[in-house]
Structure 1
Amino acid sequence: MSEYVLKSNHLTKVYKQDYALHRVNMSIRKGAIYGFIGQNGAGKSTLIRIVSGLASPSDGFIELFGKKDAQDLSEARKRIGSIIESPALYPNMTALENLETHRLLRGIPGKACIEKTLTLVGLQHTGRKKTKNFSLGMKQRLGLAIALLGDPEFLILDEPTNGLDPMGVVEMRELLKKLNRENGITILISSHILSELHLLATHYGIIHKGELLEQLSANELNGKCQHYLHIKVNDAAKAAAVIEGELAAAEFEVMPDGTIKLYQYVDTPGKVSVALTAAGLVIEQFMPMGEDLEAYFTSRIGGER
């Protein structure tokens, strides 16, 4: 059994003379929450449509649950739930009626899944309230409920927090974490809201102009974005002894050029400068450094916003 829910191999999509995707090699492990990041038009939706079977690649192929033949892919897609663009809702129906309609359209046996799914997304008490009278957050949760019908193992969400107020964004985030943690659902979530993905994703893929620039884990990303004090003094060895002894700091590095990266005291740099000066050291450079999440992604796509 494959440890990957999704793999793509040199996946390419050409519209007329333009590459929407160019030789994309993506891999998503089971149990991950994969944040798929890129500007509008970067290729996120194109890849999602190919994975969901709504578009065909010009070249390359995908594997779902280790399957890549056309017939096997068709069966594998039954294990996927998705929200692509806006959820398809019937405004004059209740939440329960919407789910029942989608259940019948998709040939999912038994009605037990409806109440279970409504409870899962917190819409079990909406009664006879029609969907047209739902808040935007409730509509998004109903769309998610439709995607969850049939107990999918892989959930694909294209900009699921678009238009939500801050409380709705938090509710959606916590719900997705719960689905991942308690139900073991692997999630691919496409978004350009970097701050929100940073609170949710376990892995990331950065796409730009149809090319996958980088894949990395949340831990790897945090390491790249970690803040530190950049210190240069006239005697690096003595400074290291002061940092380790006087300041009792263990999280620092002495770089080959003699500069020091101190990952502690970032919020209280004055204590560090006082200790170094008291030891008779001459401070040549002393500044906080490190990128935030948005700055890192911006740097990866060449400074474009």
Structure 2
Amino acid sequence: MNEYVLRTQQLTKRYKTQSALDRVDMTVRKGTIYGFIGQNGAGKSTLMKLVTGLAFPTSGSIELFGATGGAELNLARKRMGVAIENPALYPQLTAAENLEAHRLQQGIPGKESLKRTLDLIGLSGTGRKKTKNFSLGMKQRLALGVALLGEPEFLILDEPTNGLDPMGVVEMRELLTRLNREMGITILISSHILSELHLLATHYGIIHKGKLLEELTSRELQERCRQFIHIKVNVPERAAAVLERELATTEFEVTADGVIRLYAHLDRPADVSSALVAGGLALEQFMPMGEDLESYFASRIGGGEHA
């Protein structure tokens, strides 16, 4: 069984002299939630349109469920559910009528998918209420319902929390988590706000000016953003022994240049410095360090300016 849902190789899209996507190699593994992050205009929507067949690449290749071209790729696209930009919702119709209209357009047999989808997105109680009277959060859930009608294995969602209030963001996140964990749906979700994705995504891709700068797991991201106390002393080996003996911790590392990164006792810096001084060590540098998620993203796209 193919462990990859999506792979692209050197995927490029140009409009006359402008490059919207530049030689992107992306990998989305089966069962993951891939957070695709970049500023507005970075190329997120362009890539999603290429993958879904709404646009055609200038060069490069797309592999979807192992299919790589022509009729096979189009057949594989039927295993996807897509919500890119603003989906077509009919304001005069109810939630159920909207889903029925899209079911007929997509050629999905049987009406049993309607109730299942309404229950899944939490709109089964809306009755005869017209979509024009829905809140933004309800409209976003209905758009997700349209994408779920065909029981997809892979969901592609472009900024699904855009414009939602904090409660709406939480509800959408919980729904997407349930779809992934309980139904095994692989999800590619774009956003320009990393803080929205870090509670949801298992993997990340960072794109800037059409270039994919980095792919990493949530664990790797947390490690790179991990907070620590930066310590430089005259005798690093003795400092390590003091940390183990006096502060009962091994949550530190000594770098090649003799700097100690202490990941424990972040709320007790005075105790740490006192223990080191009492151990006969001279403190040359002692400061809290580490990036938060947004700072890490900002540093990556800053570096991407000259990539």
TM-score normalised by structure 1 residue count: 0.98
Structure 1 stretches of 4+ moved >6 Å = none
Shift of 1:283: 1.2
**Unmatched 5+ residue regions in structure 1?**
none
Shift of 1:229: 0.5
The one-letter code of the counterpart of 2:164 is L
Given that residues 253 and 261 in structure 2 are in contact (C-alpha distance below 8 angstroms), is that contact kept between their aligned partners in structure 1? Answer: yes
Deviations 1:197-219 (A, max 9, x none): 11110000011111111111111
The one-letter code of the counterpart of 2:294 is E
In 2, Cα distance between equivalents of 1:243 and 1:30: 42
Shift of 1:270: 1.5
**1:262 corresponding residue in structure 2:** 262
Shift of 1:59: 0.4
**2:3 corresponding residue in structure 1:** 3
**2:20 corresponding residue in structure 1:** 20
Shift of 1:279: 1.7
Given that residues 265 and 272 in structure 2 are in contact (C-alpha distance below 8 angstroms), is that contact kept between their aligned partners in structure 1? Answer: yes
**1:132 corresponding residue in structure 2:** 132
Q: Mark the CA change 1:5 to 1:304 in structure 2 (over 3 Å): closer, same or farther.
A: closer
The one-letter code of the counterpart of 1:192 is H
Given that residues 10 and 59 in structure 2 are in contact (C-alpha distance below 8 angstroms), is that contact kept between their aligned partners in structure 1? Answer: yes
Matched, 1:275 2:236: no
**2:229 corresponding residue in structure 1:** 229
Instruction: Report which stretch shifted further, 271-280 or 73-82.
Output: 271-280
* Structural mapping, 1:1-305, within 5 Å: 1-302=1-302
Given that residues 62 and 69 in structure 2 are in contact (C-alpha distance below 8 angstroms), is that contact kept between their aligned partners in structure 1? Answer: no
State the identity %. Answer: 69
Given that residues 205 and 215 in structure 1 are in contact (C-alpha distance below 8 angstroms), is that contact kept between their aligned partners in structure 2? Answer: yes
The one-letter code of the counterpart of 1:97 is E
The one-letter code of the counterpart of 1:86 is N
TM-score normalised by structure 2 residue count: 0.97
In 2, Cα distance between equivalents of 1:236 and 1:220: 27
Instruction: Report which stretch shifted further, 179-188 or 273-282.
Output: 273-282
In 2, Cα distance between equivalents of 1:51 and 1:105: 20
Given that residues 213 and 304 in structure 2 are in contact (C-alpha distance below 8 angstroms), is that contact kept between their aligned partners in structure 1? Answer: no
**Unmatched 5+ residue regions in structure 2?**
none
Shift of 1:300: 1.1
Deviations 1:59-106 (A, max 9, x none): 011011000121011111111001111121100111000001100111
In 2, Cα distance between equivalents of 1:303 and 1:249: 35
Aligned CA RMSD, in angstroms, stands at 1.2
The one-letter code of the counterpart of 1:254 is V
In 2, Cα distance between equivalents of 1:112 and 1:200: 30
Shift of 1:15: 0.2
Given that residues 37 and 191 in structure 2 are in contact (C-alpha distance below 8 angstroms), is that contact kept between their aligned partners in structure 1? Answer: yes
Count the aligned residue pairs: 305
